[in-house]
Amino acid sequence: MNRAFVKEPDEGAPAEGLPERQISEHANYVTPAGLKQLEQEVGRLETRRLELLEQDDDPEDELSYVDRDLRYYTARLESAIPVDMQRQPRRKVAFGAAVTVSQPGGKRQTFTIVGEDEADLRQGKISYVSPLAEALLDARVGKTVLWRRPAGNVELTVEEIGYPGS
Protein backbone atom coordinates (compact mmCIF):
# COMPACT_ATOMS: atom_id res chain seq x y z
CA MET A 1 0.00 0.00 0.00
CA ASN A 2 1.24 3.49 -0.76
CA ARG A 3 2.24 5.31 2.44
CA ALA A 4 0.22 8.33 1.26
CA PHE A 5 -2.94 6.42 2.16
CA VAL A 6 -1.88 5.39 5.66
CA LYS A 7 -3.18 7.67 8.39
CA GLU A 8 -0.52 8.43 10.95
CA PRO A 9 -1.72 9.20 14.48
CA ASP A 10 -1.75 12.87 15.39
CA GLU A 11 1.13 13.86 17.64
CA GLY A 12 0.05 13.64 21.26
CA ALA A 13 -3.11 11.69 20.43
CA PRO A 14 -3.56 8.37 22.20
CA ALA A 15 -2.75 5.34 20.08
CA GLU A 16 -5.76 3.44 18.87
CA GLY A 17 -6.42 0.52 21.15
CA LEU A 18 -6.74 -3.07 20.20
CA PRO A 19 -10.29 -3.73 18.95
CA GLU A 20 -12.45 -5.85 21.24
CA ARG A 21 -13.35 -9.38 20.21
CA GLN A 22 -16.89 -9.54 18.89
CA ILE A 23 -19.34 -11.25 21.25
CA SER A 24 -22.15 -13.13 19.53
CA GLU A 25 -25.75 -12.06 19.98
CA HIS A 26 -26.81 -15.72 20.21
CA ALA A 27 -27.46 -17.47 23.50
CA ASN A 28 -24.21 -18.92 24.82
CA TYR A 29 -25.16 -22.60 25.15
CA VAL A 30 -22.23 -24.81 26.13
CA THR A 31 -21.65 -28.53 26.51
CA PRO A 32 -19.92 -29.72 29.71
CA ALA A 33 -16.67 -29.93 27.69
CA GLY A 34 -17.25 -26.43 26.31
CA LEU A 35 -17.75 -25.02 29.81
CA LYS A 36 -14.52 -26.66 30.97
CA GLN A 37 -12.74 -25.26 27.91
CA LEU A 38 -13.90 -21.71 28.78
CA GLU A 39 -12.82 -22.12 32.41
CA GLN A 40 -9.38 -23.37 31.35
CA GLU A 41 -8.90 -20.50 28.91
CA VAL A 42 -9.78 -17.90 31.55
CA GLY A 43 -7.34 -19.56 33.95
CA ARG A 44 -4.59 -19.69 31.33
CA LEU A 45 -5.07 -16.02 30.44
CA GLU A 46 -5.11 -14.94 34.10
CA THR A 47 -1.84 -16.82 34.68
CA ARG A 48 -0.24 -15.32 31.56
CA ARG A 49 -1.36 -11.83 32.61
CA LEU A 50 0.34 -12.20 36.01
CA GLU A 51 3.51 -13.48 34.33
CA LEU A 52 3.59 -10.46 32.02
CA LEU A 53 3.05 -8.02 34.89
CA GLU A 54 6.01 -9.55 36.78
CA GLN A 55 8.42 -9.18 33.83
CA ASP A 56 11.08 -6.48 33.94
CA ASP A 57 10.81 -5.61 30.25
CA ASP A 58 7.81 -3.82 28.73
CA PRO A 59 5.22 -6.49 27.83
CA GLU A 60 2.61 -3.89 26.82
CA ASP A 61 1.84 -5.32 23.37
CA GLU A 62 1.26 -8.89 24.54
CA LEU A 63 -0.49 -7.65 27.67
CA SER A 64 -3.01 -5.77 25.49
CA TYR A 65 -3.86 -8.99 23.67
CA VAL A 66 -4.08 -11.01 26.88
CA ASP A 67 -6.30 -8.39 28.55
CA ARG A 68 -8.59 -8.23 25.53
CA ASP A 69 -8.91 -12.02 25.34
CA LEU A 70 -9.42 -12.25 29.10
CA ARG A 71 -12.33 -9.77 28.87
CA TYR A 72 -13.84 -11.83 26.04
CA TYR A 73 -13.52 -15.26 27.68
CA THR A 74 -14.63 -13.95 31.09
CA ALA A 75 -17.77 -12.51 29.47
CA ARG A 76 -18.38 -15.79 27.63
CA LEU A 77 -17.91 -17.78 30.84
CA GLU A 78 -20.30 -15.49 32.74
CA SER A 79 -22.94 -15.78 30.01
CA ALA A 80 -22.55 -19.54 29.55
CA ILE A 81 -25.72 -21.62 29.62
CA PRO A 82 -24.67 -25.21 30.40
CA VAL A 83 -26.77 -27.87 28.69
CA ASP A 84 -27.24 -31.19 30.50
CA MET A 85 -26.59 -33.91 27.96
CA GLN A 86 -28.59 -36.39 30.08
CA ARG A 87 -31.74 -34.34 29.43
CA GLN A 88 -31.36 -34.09 25.66
CA PRO A 89 -33.80 -36.09 23.51
CA ARG A 90 -32.39 -39.38 22.32
CA ARG A 91 -34.49 -39.84 19.18
CA LYS A 92 -33.83 -36.50 17.49
CA VAL A 93 -30.96 -34.12 16.89
CA ALA A 94 -30.53 -31.41 19.52
CA PHE A 95 -27.70 -29.37 21.02
CA GLY A 96 -24.78 -31.61 21.97
CA ALA A 97 -25.70 -34.43 19.59
CA ALA A 98 -23.08 -36.33 17.62
CA VAL A 99 -24.84 -36.88 14.30
CA THR A 100 -23.61 -39.30 11.66
CA VAL A 101 -24.90 -38.38 8.22
CA SER A 102 -24.48 -39.84 4.78
CA GLN A 103 -24.47 -38.12 1.41
CA PRO A 104 -25.63 -39.55 -1.89
CA GLY A 105 -22.83 -41.86 -2.93
CA GLY A 106 -22.34 -43.21 0.57
CA LYS A 107 -19.85 -40.76 2.12
CA ARG A 108 -20.42 -40.68 5.90
CA GLN A 109 -19.37 -38.00 8.36
CA THR A 110 -20.06 -37.31 12.01
CA PHE A 111 -20.65 -33.82 13.37
CA THR A 112 -21.15 -32.82 17.00
CA ILE A 113 -23.35 -29.77 17.58
CA VAL A 114 -21.73 -27.53 20.19
CA GLY A 115 -21.53 -23.91 21.38
CA GLU A 116 -19.92 -21.21 19.28
CA ASP A 117 -16.65 -21.05 21.22
CA GLU A 118 -16.27 -24.83 21.19
CA ALA A 119 -16.78 -25.24 17.43
CA ASP A 120 -13.80 -26.74 15.59
CA LEU A 121 -14.50 -28.21 12.17
CA ARG A 122 -11.22 -30.20 12.17
CA GLN A 123 -12.63 -32.11 15.16
CA GLY A 124 -16.09 -32.37 13.59
CA LYS A 125 -17.56 -29.87 16.09
CA ILE A 126 -19.98 -27.38 14.54
CA SER A 127 -21.70 -24.38 16.09
CA TYR A 128 -25.38 -24.79 16.82
CA VAL A 129 -26.04 -21.61 14.80
CA SER A 130 -24.23 -22.83 11.69
CA PRO A 131 -26.28 -23.61 8.56
CA LEU A 132 -25.33 -27.30 8.86
CA ALA A 133 -26.50 -27.55 12.47
CA GLU A 134 -29.69 -25.65 11.66
CA ALA A 135 -30.43 -28.17 8.88
CA LEU A 136 -29.87 -31.10 11.27
CA LEU A 137 -31.65 -29.86 14.41
CA ASP A 138 -34.85 -31.80 15.20
CA ALA A 139 -34.12 -34.44 12.53
CA ARG A 140 -34.56 -38.13 13.37
CA VAL A 141 -32.66 -41.18 12.14
CA GLY A 142 -33.60 -41.87 8.52
CA LYS A 143 -34.63 -38.30 7.74
CA THR A 144 -33.04 -36.52 4.78
CA VAL A 145 -32.32 -32.82 5.28
CA LEU A 146 -31.11 -30.13 2.91
CA TRP A 147 -27.88 -28.38 3.90
CA ARG A 148 -27.96 -25.03 2.10
CA ARG A 149 -24.42 -23.96 1.22
CA PRO A 150 -22.96 -21.22 -0.96
CA ALA A 151 -21.07 -23.96 -2.85
CA GLY A 152 -24.34 -25.74 -3.57
CA ASN A 153 -26.98 -27.53 -1.57
CA VAL A 154 -26.31 -31.04 -0.28
CA GLU A 155 -28.80 -33.65 0.87
CA LEU A 156 -27.78 -35.43 4.06
CA THR A 157 -29.47 -38.47 5.59
CA VAL A 158 -29.27 -38.85 9.36
CA GLU A 159 -27.83 -42.31 10.09
CA GLU A 160 -27.09 -42.16 13.84
CA ILE A 161 -27.64 -39.81 16.80
CA GLY A 162 -25.69 -40.00 20.04
CA TYR A 163 -24.82 -37.72 22.94
CA PRO A 164 -21.15 -37.85 23.96
CA GLY A 165 -20.52 -37.77 27.69
CA SER A 166 -24.03 -38.78 28.65
pLDDT digits (tens, 9 = 90+) for 94-146: 999 999 999 988 899 999 999 999 999 999 999 999 999 999 999 999 999 99
Residues 117 and 128 in one domain: yes
Whole-number Å distance between alpha carbons of 78 and 114: 17
Residues 113 and 141 in one domain: yes
Measured torsion, CA atoms of residues 38, 41, 43, 45, in degrees rounded to the nearest 10: -140
Residues 68 and 123 in one domain: no
Q: Is residue 62 part of a domain?
A: yes
For residue 120, the one-letter residue type is D
Domain carrying residue 78: 27-82
Q: What percent of the chain has pLDDT over 90?
A: 81
- What do you get for the CA distance between the two ends of the chain, in Å? 54
User: 114 — phi, psi (to 5°)?
Assistant: -135, 180
Instruction: Find the farthest-apart pair of alpha carbons in the chain and give their distance in angstroms, rounded.
Output: 66
Closest by Cα among 163, 155, 166 to 92: 163
Q: Is residue 70 part of a domain?
A: yes
Task: For the chain, give the number of residues.
Answer: 166
Q: Is residue 14 part of a domain?
A: no
Q: Is residue 5 part of a domain?
A: no
